[in-house]
Each structure stands twice: as structure tokens, then as C-alpha cells.
Structure 1
Amino acid sequence: MARHEDLRGQVAIVTGASSGVGWQSAVRLAEAGVRLCVTARRRFALEQLRAEVLRRGGECLVCEGDVTAQEDVERVVRECVARYGRVDLLVNAAAVQSYGPFEQLPWEHITRVFDVACFGYLRFARAVLPRFREQGHGHLLNVQSMLASGSAPLLSAYSAAKHATLGWAQSLEMELAGTGIHVSNVMVPSVSTPMFDHAPTLLDRQPVPVPPTYDVDLVARAVVRLAKRPGRTSVPAFLQGRLMLWLNGLAPSVGKAVLGRFGARMQTTDTPLARREGNLFSPVAQGVGPRGSVPPTPAWLRFTATLGLAALAGGVLGGAALGARGVARAVR
């Protein structure tokens, strides 16, 4: 495993930097001494981010662009190299969602989600990999989702896109073994980003993340840790992270039962909302900065939920063990 504990002077491109994880990751990387090239569709938001980075003593180049446009991707990389002479780190963080039952989602919503949340990562990786090979080093750091290892109702396109993105990243890691180019992934739980304030929905109600919700800075700090020690997959949350992975391995029926019965209700409020397009195809004015309207779940409530989920899992596993013993006795 490579170690780059001192990030000062390194150059990073951060996609999806106008809000959420991209924004906050850029800020934390700048605090660690990384020189930034930030990109997204909203230049006015990127200029606000640049002002924040400069205020903290960092260096930041703004390059407006769309991850679905090949010419934009290539231009961002060229401008970054022209400014700094190289690029050491790519943080793939651009993403969009669309809420609705699969059979009701417009096909163009499904393909657009893939084009941003999956193919956008691939486009930028293909654009920077030749630079990395010339330098003999580089780091692809992908902001993934816990949905890449799971699922949720109403988010079938996004879940599928993140499954594909994680599979690509894991394959690429094998291909790049021994080249000096590293691949890392951070598995993101529900976080307090503005994504839910500008995501399209067919439900006519305000969408919200599956609880519990974590502060976006949890992921940004994980990005910095991975930048220092590349080549890993980080799961920074416990309840909606490591515990869920463990439960899915031991008792997958628990998560399916909960989300299958309550998932739609958990992801919507009673607030009426007509937003069929959101920011899917065109940028919107709202939702600038690291955090959105949904606050993080208090730590004490996350702890209570952890105990409840552990008890539920224990009951399921205990019941399964009793059932297995009963079957064994019947067979004998």
C-alpha cells in the first residue's frame, strides 16, 4: 500500500465540486495543502468554492464543465496540466439521482443517471490515465455509495449505476497493479448534501435520504485519508456502513424486509413537490455548498438505531439457528 502522508504540493481534480461531497472534499484537500482544479456545471458555485479555498490559504483553478461531455472532460484535464504542470489525484464525485418506481422512470432519466454517476467517472479516468502513466504515478479516488453494495426502492437507476462503477473500479485496480497508479473507493452512506434538494422526483413529494443521515464532512475526511494512503476501500460510517455490510452478509433478509416494507416511506416526506427534471439535464440555482436542507441525524439517535438493528439481526440469526437445529433433528 502506497503512503503519501504529506499531500502538500500535490494537484487534484475534483468533479462535482459545486456542492456536497465534492465541495467539502475540495475544501479538506486544500487544507491539507493540495492544489485544486475544481469542476462542475455551475461556474457561479465553483467561484464561491474558490473563494472559500482561498480564504483558507489554498490554491484553486475553476474549470466549468459537464462530465457527460467528452470535450469538457478533456479540456478540464488540459487546463489543469497547463496551470500546474501535472495532475496527481482525480476525485470522482459527480452524481445525480432520479426518484421513482423503475417502470415509471423516463428512459432518458435512467440513461442520464448512468451517464453522470458511472460513465462520468470512466471519462475522467480515461482522460487522466495517460498523464499518470507519463508521470509514473497517480491516484483515482472514486466517491462511491453504500448502494453499490446494496439497493433501495425508488433509486434503481442510481443503485445500478453505482454497482457498475464499483465493479469498474475494482477491475481497474487489478489492471493497474504495479504501475504506480492507485485506485481507491469511499463508500458513502446517506449524507447531508444538497443532492436531495435538486434531484428530480416522480413522487410529487420531497425526497430525503434513507436515515440515518451523516454530516458530509465524514466523507470528505475519508477522502483526505485515502489521498494519504491510496489503494483501499474506505467505509467511514458504522451504522449505515460497516454494520450494514456485515448484516447483509449474515442476514440479507433483514435489510430487504425493512427497505421493502418501509423504504419508500423512509425516502419521502409529506411536503408536496412538483420537480420532474430537477438538475438532471440542466444546473439549478439552489443547492450550492456542502450541506443541504436535511440535517445530520443526531449521534444519540444513530446509537439507538444501531442497538435496535443489532437486536433485530440477533433475533433473525437466532431464529435461523433454531430453525436449522430443528431441521437437523427432523433429519436424524
Structure 2
Amino acid sequence: MGREELRGKVAIVTGASSGVGWQSAVRLAEQGVRLCVTARRLEALENLQAQVLRQGGECLVAPGDVTVQQDVDRVVRACIEFYGRVDLLVNVAAVQSYGFFDDLPWEHLERTFDVNCFGYMRFARAVLPHFRAQRSGHVLNVQSMLSKGGAPLLASYAASKHATLGWAECLELELRGTGIHVSNVLVPSVATPMFDHAPTQFHLAPMPVPPTYEPDVAARAVVRCARRPGRTVVPVFLQGRLILWMDRWVPRVGKWLLGNFGVRMQMREKPVERTEGNLFHPVRQGVGPHGSVPPTPRWKRFTATAGLVALAGGALSGVALGARGLARAVR
């Protein structure tokens, strides 16, 4: 697929009240994309709209809940009535809940799937008739590195992301030859307000699996995907392409790290009582792209990369020695 001109295109961005959704909307507006932004928090969306307008962009605010079909239909209808069309759907809205799988309330598991997976599907089904009528369109899904892996305490989130990526890959095949494209961005841990909103079954504030990146890393990847649709993009090396390579060739390294240290590395030394968070109702805190967890400094990411490469190299050497020993035994 060739490079697409974004100026003048119309995009719906979900989950735009904070984090990657907010920053993606800002970056798309800089490219001349006309925006329809949606999330549950009207005041936060109006703050985003004000920023976009100050920078010379166009932005329609259409609040709604991705788990409510009537809201989804209303948002799409408002966008088309205002701009006359829709060209790009950027699915971003997501929630997560921290806890061991068998301790998580069942309604947390259902709600996580309803937002992270079915929310994407609802919006896709709402825009696809318009895409088909104009013989063009783009469903761009902000996924997660946990769409292809796992982490302790995040069973509901990771499972919903695996399901969403599987759905997106099926949708891409079904839409081949229609002029409608499907893209995915596998986002690493990013320093967004998600971790200030997320419910937890523990008494310590959650934090992302390190290293943590700027939200702009994900937002710029969204813009690249919008320009060149039909791809799955992994925007970083350390918590991206290197992890996927290790999961394929030396999976025991990642399992050893996360199995032994994954729980500890996702908790801050900050007491908190937040069993519901923003899972069922929006909260006032955490507007904008950044949360209270800072990005990991670049030098620490380089150090971690070197350490992981060394671990992977050692594991591969062990596998090679074992294979040679097995070959000698067979002979």
C-alpha cells in the first residue's frame, strides 16, 4: 500500500480523553486530519478540542461509552453529519484491572473485554457501512505488546488484547480488495494516566512493566500507520521487536523474568485503595497524554537492552550445546 495523504481526511479517535488517544489526536491534527474525538469525559474532550483548535486544527467533540451501542452509533452519526464522511477509525479506548486471575471479580473480566475488544468491534461495525459505500476507509487499532504475550496480574487485559488482534487479522482478510484497510500498532508500556485510573486488588499503586515510553512513541506510530495502512507496526526495539524475537527463540528468558519479578515490578511504593478505578465510571483525574509514572530514561533502556541481549545469547548458547549433546547421544 502506498503513502496516503492525510490532510483533509476525517478520523474518529476513541479513548481520546487521555494517554495515547489524546496524543494520537494531536499528532493527526498536525497532519491536517479533521477530528471527531470521543470518550466518556466531556470536560477532558473539550480540553483536547481547545488544544487542537489553538494549533489550527478541526475537532468535533462527541462523548460516549464504547460499551453502549447507542453511544457508538450516535458518535459515528455526529461525525458524518458534521464533516460529511469518515475516513479513519482509530480504536484506542482501553481499561485494565490488576489482580491475580482467580482473585479478579468476574465483572472486571467482562468489562475489560467489553471495552478493549467489543468496543473496537462496535465502532468498526458502525463505520464499515460508510467505508463500503465510499469504497475506502481504514480501521486502525491501537493494540499492545500483550496482544502477543502475557504478564502476571494482567490476565484480563492481555486476553482481551489477544482477542482483539485475532479479530483484526480476520477483518483484514475479509476486507481484502474492498479498498478498506486494517492496521495495528503494538504499543509498549507507555507513561499514560491508565495506571492512575486502573483498579487494583492490592494496596499499592500499579505501574507498567518497564521500560516505559513516552505516549508520543505510540502516537507517531499511529500517524505512520495512517499514512501507510494495512500493516502491523511495532514502534520500539527493546519492549517490542526484541521481545517478539525472544518469545520465538528463547521464550524461557522472558518467562523466567516475568515469572520471578513480574508482580514486584508492577507495583509502586505508593499506598492506594482503588478496587474499581475507572472501570465502570469515569474519574476526573488523569487528563492529557501523561500520567504520574514517568518514562524510563533512555540510558536505562539501553542498559536493559544490553542485559536482555546477553541473557538471550546465553540461553541460545545453552540450547545449541544441548542440541549438540542430543545429536551425539542419538548417533
User: What TM-score does the superposition give when structure 1 sets the normalisation length?
Assistant: 0.99
Once the two structures are superposed, what CA deviation does each residue of 1:78-122 show, in whole Å capped at 9, x if it has no partner?
000000000000000000000000000000000000000000000
* 1:64 partner SS: coil
In 2, the alpha carbon distance for the partners of 1:185 and 1:327 equals 41
AA matched with 2:3: R
Structural mapping, 1:1-332, within 5 Å: 1-4=1-4, 6-332=5-331
Once the two structures are superposed, what CA deviation does each residue of 1:256-292 show, in whole Å capped at 9, x if it has no partner?
1100110000100121110000000000010100010
In 1, the alpha carbon distance for the partners of 2:215 and 2:191 equals 6
AA matched with 1:228: R
AA matched with 1:3: R
In 2, the alpha carbon distance for the partners of 1:27 and 1:202 equals 34
Contact 1:205–1:271 (CA under 8 A) maintained in structure 2: yes
AA matched with 2:303: T
The offset of 1:3, in angstroms, is: 2.5
Contact 1:192–1:296 (CA under 8 A) maintained in structure 2: yes
In 2, the alpha carbon distance for the partners of 1:270 and 1:33 equals 43
Contact 1:11–1:89 (CA under 8 A) maintained in structure 2: yes
In 2, the alpha carbon distance for the partners of 1:158 and 1:224 equals 24
In 2, the alpha carbon distance for the partners of 1:329 and 1:270 equals 52
Gaps of 5+ in 1: none
The offset of 1:318, in angstroms, is: 0.2
The offset of 1:203, in angstroms, is: 1.0
In 1, the alpha carbon distance for the partners of 2:113 and 2:2 equals 31
* 1:187 partner SS: strand
In 2, the alpha carbon distance for the partners of 1:269 and 1:20 equals 20
How many residue pairs match? The answer is: 331
Once the two structures are superposed, what CA deviation does each residue of 1:134-173 show, in whole Å capped at 9, x if it has no partner?
1110000000000000000000000000000000000000
Q: What is the identity percentage for the equivalent residue pairs of Structure 1 and Structure 2?
A: 73
In 2, the alpha carbon distance for the partners of 1:280 and 1:26 equals 23
In 1, the alpha carbon distance for the partners of 2:148 and 2:102 equals 22
Once the two structures are superposed, what CA deviation does each residue of 1:40-95 show, in whole Å capped at 9, x if it has no partner?
00000000000010011000000010000000000000000000000000000000
AA matched with 2:46: E
Contact 1:2–1:231 (CA under 8 A) maintained in structure 2: no
In 1, the alpha carbon distance for the partners of 2:203 and 2:300 equals 28
User: What TM-score does the superposition give when structure 2 sets the normalisation length?
Assistant: 0.99
Moved over 6 A (4+): none
* 1:139 partner SS: strand
Gaps of 5+ in 2: none
In 2, the alpha carbon distance for the partners of 1:2 and 1:194 equals 35
Once the two structures are superposed, what CA deviation does each residue of 1:216-265 show, in whole Å capped at 9, x if it has no partner?
00010010111111000000011000000011110111111100110000
AA matched with 1:70: Q
Contact 1:191–1:296 (CA under 8 A) maintained in structure 2: yes
AA matched with 1:193: T
AA matched with 1:314: G
AA matched with 1:322: L
Contact 1:65–1:72 (CA under 8 A) maintained in structure 2: yes
In 1, the alpha carbon distance for the partners of 2:330 and 2:232 equals 43
Contact 1:40–1:66 (CA under 8 A) maintained in structure 2: yes
